[in-house]
Amino acid sequence: MAEAASELFSYLTVGGILFALGLIGFLVRRNMIVMFLCAEMMLQGISISLVAWGKYHANWGGQMLVIFILTVAACEAAIALALVLMLFHRSGKLDIAFWQEMREEGQPAYVDREIPEEREEDKVWPTLTPAGRLPSRDPEIDLHRSRV
Amino acid sequence: MDSKLHLLMVLVPGLPLAAALLTALFGPRHLKAASHWPVILALAGSFAASIALLSEVKQRSAESAPQGGYEHVLALWTWMDLPDALSMDAAMAKASPEAAASATAAATGGSLLRDFRIDVTLRADPLTSTMLSMVTFISTLVAIFAAGYMKGERGYWRFFTYIALFVFSMTMLVSVSNFALLFVFWEAVGVCSYLLIGFWYPKPDAAAAGMKAFLVNRVGDFGFALALFLIWTTYGTLDFHDRAAVASIGNDTVAAASADVAGESASDRDRGPLGVVSPARIKANAYWGGGLGLAICLLLMLGACGKSAQFPLHVWLPDAMEGPTPVSALIHAATMVTAGVYMVTRCTPLFSASPEAQATVAVVGGVTALLAGLIALTQHDLKRVLAYSTVSQLGYMFLGLGTGSLLGIVAGMFHLFTHAFFKALLFLGSGSVMHAMGHVIDMRRFSGLRTLMPVTHATFLIGCLALAGVPPLSGFWSKDAIVASLHEQAHHWQEAGGGSHGSEASGHETAEGGSKPAAQAVVIPAANAPTLISAAALARLYQGLYLLALVVAFMTAFYTFRAFYLTFYGPERIPAEAGSHAHESPWSMCGPLAILAVLAAGIGGYLEWTHGFAHFVSLAPSLAGGPVLGTEKPGEFHLTVAATSTLVAAAGILLASYLYLGGKREVQWLSSKANLEELSSWMDVERVARWSKKPWIAGIHASAKRVGLGWLTAIIGNLLLFAALLITAPLALGHFVSPYRLSYRKFYWDEIYMATIVWPLQTLGIVLAWIDRWIVDGAVNLCGRLPTQLGSLMRSLQMGLVPFYGLAMLLGVLILMAAKLLWAGS
Amino acid sequence: MTALFGEGPVWAAIPWNDLVASPLAWGVIAGAISLLLLIPGSSQRARTPGLIFAAASLVLFGLGLGRSESLGAQLSVWVLAALTVGSAGAAIAMRSAVYSAIWFAVSLLGTGGLFCLQNAQFLGVATVVVYAGAIVVTFLFVVMLAQPEGHDAYDRISWGPLAKPVVVGSSALLLGLVLGTVGPALGVIGGKPVAPAPAKTVAATTPASAAGSVPVAPAGSAKDSAPSTDAAPATAAAAPPARSAIDTIDNRGHMARLGSVLFSRHLIAVELGGTLLLAALVGAVAIVIQGRDERAKPGVGTGEERNHG
């Protein structure tokens, strides 16, 4: 069974690393969307561990739990995205640092450090490869469209 | 029969109380400028009731006269009742004069359990009814006067509410038959006095004067309260009367007070202890002498000093003149300030047991009379002169009480009675002057008012003559009685010091005419012998006080007429404040003045002539039995003493007439002499330096210069100058405390109290306040702030940022894991 | 104090030498350094050193992983683990939220593969479909709607200067502690085949030992201290007991068995999960409707119009 233990340990390691990465991301990043991604990442780490334990012990418990984790994650995503959207409506930002009204009375608000300049390579925005030809645009229509 | 008496006893204080409530409730809204009507009517009704009470008491006391005084006690309800509150230990009970003298206490084996029970009781006896009629009469007249005087004042209704409340308190003060209730109403009149002195409370002086009166009275009341505690622990009761002799409303069949209830009835517990000044106790003469008796008496005297403005505590009364003048007339001249005299008179048996205390009373009275008389000589404020004369006359009353003889005590009460009339008259007269002068009272600013205010002038003159003690007027008779009693007392102690005790006792026995020979003969010498002072010293003391009284009589005549002349004679001057309404006062003010003038002139002579007052008052239980009976009978007229005091008064009036009717130069000269102004010239450096310009000194200096010794003479001269200044420096103090200045600055008593009591206490208060604020409160606040500070350390963690909470969770998990690893195995 | 601390210091029981020799420890350290370098911070750095450290940590982790029976299996584990971990690291290191989401989706693909390797094919597919296909795409939608410029200033920095080292350090410590205790317990680290003791870990937290009355020896010295009591669970764990057909996990009839277990033993939980989903759906709608009532604040107009217009 040394192989079983060894295999278990491999997956535990991967799960642990995923959990740790998610934790780091959750604590360090400030974009609310990214923070929720990191929370999901932690759930993934846990899921991997559970599945590994389930295989090690040869029962369905781990997989069952992971199914429910999936369920809960879906719920969480729904609620979280709704909340994020609402907060975004209020502030126009996805910055979690904007929302700190729950601090103790009299506490100074957290103030950002100076934000470094954006680098050129960061400005690259994922784009779709253009396919086909560009549609001919009627300048008249373009003139009256409010958005793209 | 009894019910009529009871009705009167309740009506006398009840009517003013009803008026006070009525005015307080309806004054501000409905009565307004008519607020005086209920009060005047109630006071008049109260006066009528007290006159009826007086005649009733007089009639009854005449019937029960031989039994050692008349009293009728009416119990209204029981205020408090604590069974077995005091257990006198056996030794004390054995040693108590009551146990020794009272057969019942001895029979119960000396275990004396006392209930602390206070019944609200009213009493009717000659002393009380006299006081009642005087108080209600004066207050009625003052209320009528005030209706004119206070017209248009803010708080008109408030004034009359206070007045009615005061009259209620004062009538209760003299009516109640219990020390505790006496104390209650003693305080009540103090409160009314405070309220009325500070009636014009927006005026800082008035507010301060009210506060001063109240605080100074606290000192006296402290002594009074201590005296009450001592009386309670010593005598086991605070009642004046025996509980057996109490009637209650609807129960007319209770036996009237009689002296011989004490001895025979079955159970001592049912009746309670003998009243402190009840006829039975007085008959048995069961009073503590010695240190305990002296302590009680001195503490009582301290209370009387506070209320009656006697020597150490006299400082409040002159300041109390800041109140409206009718208040000064009613409270601070005629009624409230005599409460101390009344109280000491009521406690005569207690004082009789302690001759030292009596001597103290006499000395305090004498010192006060002299001090206040001296101060009154130089005051410029008309009301202040009258205030000091009041203090002085109160001192006179205490002089009379301090003799300890029936003659003296009755004389003191008599003086109280007559003084109320003429001093109220004088104060109301000064109020009339103030009213006309636009509330200016400084005698330097007006003069020659006799043509302007003829009625005031005439009545004031009568009051002055009465105060000065000019023969046919009432002041003469009462003052003369006091002086005579002092004279008699000096003789009495001279005889006692010279002769033996036995002869004194037998003398008493013959003097009493055998009414209660056995009891007197046994008890008096033991209880009444002075222990601290020899009889000869007492004789010298009373002789000195006699002379002092004559001096004070001289000064009284002088300063009274000084004020009179300064106000009503000389060129007519009217201060600007008076404006155009400097005129005679309306009828509501002149009427009371006229009535009072008639009485001030006549009542003394009438009562003296008929011997009515002395005989009637001496039927009060406190005076009708016990040791005072053995002294000089009242009512005898001492021709030599009377002649002397008349001469003295006449001399004072003549001197005042000479100085203040004639030229002013003598006055100037006298006051500058009294001010020791020569001394100040010696302090002048230039004057001393001018000596060097004298020809012979300059000559010596010049010749010395010529032989080259100029430096020597210069040094000698300067040394001499310096020495002269050094020698004259102490004279500056003499200038500072010159007789005139001492008198004018009231012997610096206010400053002395300020420096010795007020400032140290203030400093202590500031220090204690600081300690309380910063150390006690600081400790408490520290206890409160420490958790807050500790908490705010944690507060800074609550940043409101989600990731920080997450980080805290992560660190917490780490710590838990580390702990698990380290301590509980992996 | 001995009762509290157990028999002898626990530190002594931890195979420090083995831990230091294990590549995992160095992998954790290298990964931590790479994250410190790569996660967006106050200053802009070149990415190369961070990438080098990241590659090194991946290699070290791969070396530290347990060995499988066949090379093919080993290789697939390596590849999938590297894919999962690497793309997860990329997801948190990206400055752009869109890239983060994309990298997370890649990481989810790796996770799904790992699930499949673990006899959890359904979960693997479900993860890819539900997570990568639905949730992450939804995230992407939101990001695209909210941040048309791609990334904002707050994406380029993290919290104050201390936050990053503290977070990374303590997370690494956490990971190290977990691996450092689980590894020796499973016998993977240190070479000594210590019997894996799931029962043992349960026993260690029983109330009796927690109360400290019976000091339980740490796992490393379990055999020395109490061989007789530990023997039975150890063997039980080493050889999983025979189970009924429904309990065994293998590839044949996987879905059928999973479904039968799910809808028999865990039926109530399934119902509850469904209810939870419904509640979340209603809640999300309610939140958005509430938020709509309170919008129309100045300055947020563009995002809204695009969302609802």
**For residue B515, what pLDDT is reported?**
36
Tokens found for residue A5? 């233990």
- Specify whether the CB–CB gap between C77 and C65 falls below 8 A: yes
CB distance B801–A27 less than 8 Å? no
**For residue B398, what pLDDT is reported?**
92
pLDDT tens for the 309 residues of chain C, in order:
444 444 455 556 666 777 777 888 888 999 999 988 888 876 666 788 888 999 999 988 888 887 777 888 888 888 999 999 999 999 988 888 888 888 999 999 999 999 988 888 889 998 898 888 888 888 888 887 776 665 677 777 777 777 888 889 999 988 888 888 888 777 776 655 444 444 333 333 333 333 333 333 344 433 333 333 333 444 444 444 444 444 556 667 788 888 888 898 899 999 999 999 999 999 998 888 876 665 555 444 444 444 443
Q: Which residue is associated with the tokens 């209370």?
A: B303
Name residues 108-127 of chain A within 8 A of C (Cβ): 110, 112-119, 122-123, 125-126
Closest residue to A28, CB basis, from C167, C258, C295: C167
What is the spatial distance between Cα B479 and Cα B415, in angstroms, rounded to a whole number? 6
pLDDT exceeds 90 at position A46? yes
Hey, is the C-beta of C22 within 8 angstroms of any chain A C-beta? no
Q: Residues A47, A49, A53, CA angle at the centre, nearest 5°?
A: 115
Give the distance, in angstroms, between the CA of residue C70 and the centroid of all CA atoms in the same chain: 25
Residue numbers in B near A110 (CB within 8 A): 799, 801
- Specify whether the CB–CB gap between B559 and B389 falls below 8 A: yes
Among B460, B389, B411, which Cα is nearest to B628's?
A: B411
Mean pLDDT by 10 residues, chain B (826 residues): 84 92 86 86 94 89 71 86 72 53 46 77 89 92 90 86 93 92 93 90 89 90 92 85 71 41 42 75 78 89 91 87 88 88 90 85 91 88 90 91 85 90 91 85 83 88 89 85 86 69 38 35 41 77 90 91 88 78 79 88 82 80 71 64 87 86 72 68 66 75 80 83 76 69 78 86 93 92 90 78 86 88 65
**For residue B368, what pLDDT is reported?**
92
What is the spatial distance between Cα B107 and Cα B176, in angstroms, rounded to a whole number? 31
Hey, is the C-beta of A96 within 8 angstroms of any chain B C-beta? yes
Alpha-carbon distance B797 to nearest alpha carbon in chain C (angstroms): 14
Among A21, A24, A27, A95, the strongest candidate for a mutation testing the B interface, having the largest count of B CBs within 10 A, is: A27
Hey, is the C-beta of C168 within 8 angstroms of any chain A C-beta? yes
ipTM: 0.80
Closest residue to A52, CB basis, from C118, C280, C287: C118
CB distance A13–C179 less than 8 Å? yes
Give C157: exposed, middle or buried? Use CB within 10 Å, 0-12, 13-18, 19+. buried
Euclidean distance between the first and the last CA atom of chain A, given in angstroms as a whole number: 62
Kind of pairing, strands B246-248 and B72-88? parallel
Hey, is the C-beta of B793 within 8 angstroms of any chain A C-beta? no
Tokens found for residue B793? 């350390």
pLDDT exceeds 90 at position A45? yes
- Specify whether the CB–CB gap between B172 and B339 falls below 8 A: no
Measured in degrees and rounded to the nearest 5, phi and psi for residue C149 equal -80, -5
pTM for the model = 0.63
Alpha-carbon distance A32 to nearest alpha carbon in chain B (angstroms): 10
What is the spatial distance between Cα B382 and Cα B366, in angstroms, rounded to a whole number? 23
What is the spatial distance between Cα B554 and Cα B549, in angstroms, rounded to a whole number? 9
- Specify whether the CB–CB gap between B192 and B173 falls below 8 A: no
Hey, is the C-beta of B800 within 8 angstroms of any chain A C-beta? yes
Give B478: exposed, middle or buried? Use CB within 10 Å, 0-12, 13-18, 19+. buried
A27 → chain C, closest CA residue: C167
CB distance B799–A103 less than 8 Å? yes
Among B548, B231, B489, which Cα is nearest to B371's?
A: B548
Hey, is the C-beta of A82 within 8 angstroms of any chain C C-beta? yes
CB distance B800–A106 less than 8 Å? no
**For residue B48, what pLDDT is reported?**
94
Can you state the angle between helices C267-293 and A61-91, rounded to 10 degrees? 0
Tokens found for residue B370? 């002299």
What is the spatial distance between Cα B137 and Cα B139, in angstroms, rounded to a whole number? 5
**For residue B60, what pLDDT is reported?**
85
Tokens found for residue B611? 């011997």
Residue numbers in C near A16 (CB within 8 A): 175, 178-179
Predicted confidence (pLDDT) per residue in A67-122, tens digit: 999 899 889 888 988 888 888 888 777 888 888 877 777 777 777 666 666 666 66
B197 contact partners, CB below 8 Å, separation of at least 6: B206, B209, B210, B213, B320, B322, B323, B327
Count H helices and E strands in chain C, helices first.
18, 0
**For residue C232, what pLDDT is reported?**
40
Predicted confidence (pLDDT) per residue in A9-43, tens digit: 889 999 999 999 999 999 988 888 889 899 999 99
